[in-house]
Amino acid sequence: MSDHHHGHDHAHEHEHDDRPGAHGAPLTDIQLRVRALESLLVDKGLVDPKALDTLIDTYETKVGPRNGARVVAKAWVDPAFKQRLLADSTAAIAELGYIGRQGEDMVVLENTPKVHNVVVCTLCSCYPWPVLGLPPVWYKSGPYRARTVIDPRGVLREFGVDVGDDVEVRVWDSTAELRYLVLPERPQGTEGMTEEQLADLVTRDAMIGVAQVKAPRRW
């Protein structure tokens, strides 16, 4: 087996890898299998290990929900941008430089006092990468994919969101190549905040539709 990925493994081994195989313990079957597959594909000239490193770095450190939070904050402070965002979401998001794979065709859904939107992908785990990064485990999990379409209010309650009976819940099942981003309601009490401060309040979960954005107690 070639040793091109050893440096990479060591760089990360200390942080999240709690399975056997980390910390000097024997490698698990899945670790061995992925290593062997990578070596095979590298030896056959099908992948370049440096490109793999760059791909990982891109989606682990550069692309993430901070991007979406900037889109939301801008929509809150700039009515003309918000109008463009709802009319042609892909183009407006591209104004901030967020383009690319799994975000080629974006649709922004506006939450209002009367409508609460929530996004799911029941068939796989489609997710708007350029604005939210890669999806969390729960989004890809059986419970979320199975239940959000049949019991949206129950799922939302588990996330601590109690939607009133007078509010319509709209579930968006991303079954095709459109990718959805929820524009949460701007919380009251944030009138004096800057766009940058507002962006810090916007969470990934609020942009999936399973959370509301809360104003800080003091700022």
Partner 1 sequence: MNGIHDLGGMHGFGPVDPEPNEPVFHHDWERRAFALNLAAGFLGRWNIDMGRYAREHMPPAEYLATTYYEHWLYGLERLLVEKGLVTGKELEAMRPQGPVAGVKALGVDDLPKALRNRRAARMDDHLATPRFKAGDRVRTKNLNPTGHTRLPRYARDKVGVIDRDHGVFIFADAHAVTGQKVPQRCYSVRFEGRELWGPDAGPRDAIYIDLFEPYLEPAFPEGGHK
Active site residue 126: yes
- Is 164:191 a contact under the CB 8 Å cutoff? no
Active site residue 121: yes
Please say which residue, 78 or 95, places its beta carbon nearer to partner 1.
95
Active-site residue, selected from the candidate residues 39, 89, 121, 174: 121
Dihedrals φ, ψ of 209, to 5°?
105, 10
The answer to whether 87 contacts partner 1 (rule: CB under 8 A) is no
Three-class SS of residue 55? helix
**Six-digit token string for 64:** 């993430």
CB atoms within 10 A of CB 142: 7
Question: Which residues between 179 and 208 bind partner 1 (CB under 8 A)?
Answer: 205
Nearest distance, CB of residue 21 and partner 1, angstroms: 8
E-strand stretches of the chain: 106-110, 115-120, 168-173, 179-183
The DSSP secondary-structure symbol of 24 reads T
The answer to whether 64 contacts partner 1 (rule: CB under 8 A) is yes
- Minimal CA–CA distance to 197: which of 82, 74, 63, 62? 74
The answer to whether 105 contacts partner 1 (rule: CB under 8 A) is yes
Q: Which of 23, 25, 55, 95 binds partner 1 (CB under 8 A)?
A: 55
| Alpha-carbon gap, residue 59 to 133, rounded angstroms | 6
**Pairing of β 168-173 and β 115-120:** parallel
Active site residue 89: no
Could you tell me how many residues make up the chain?
219
The answer to whether 110 contacts partner 1 (rule: CB under 8 A) is no
The answer to whether 177 contacts partner 1 (rule: CB under 8 A) is yes
The answer to whether 14 contacts partner 1 (rule: CB under 8 A) is no
Dihedrals φ, ψ of 138, to 5°?
-60, -35
Please say which residue, 60 or 95, places its beta carbon nearer to partner 1.
60
Active-site residue, selected from the candidate residues 2, 39, 89, 125: 125
Q: What are the distances in angstroms from CA 213 to CA 141, 198, 203?
A: 24, 10, 7
The answer to whether 96 contacts partner 1 (rule: CB under 8 A) is no
The answer to whether 4 contacts partner 1 (rule: CB under 8 A) is no
Please say which residue, 92 or 193, places its beta carbon nearer to partner 1.
92
The answer to whether 137 contacts partner 1 (rule: CB under 8 A) is yes
Q: Which of 142, 188, 196, 217 binds partner 1 (CB under 8 A)?
A: 142
Active site residue 174: no
Q: Which of 38, 88, 185, 200 binds partner 1 (CB under 8 A)?
A: 38
Q: Give the catalytic positions in this structure.
A: 121, 124-126
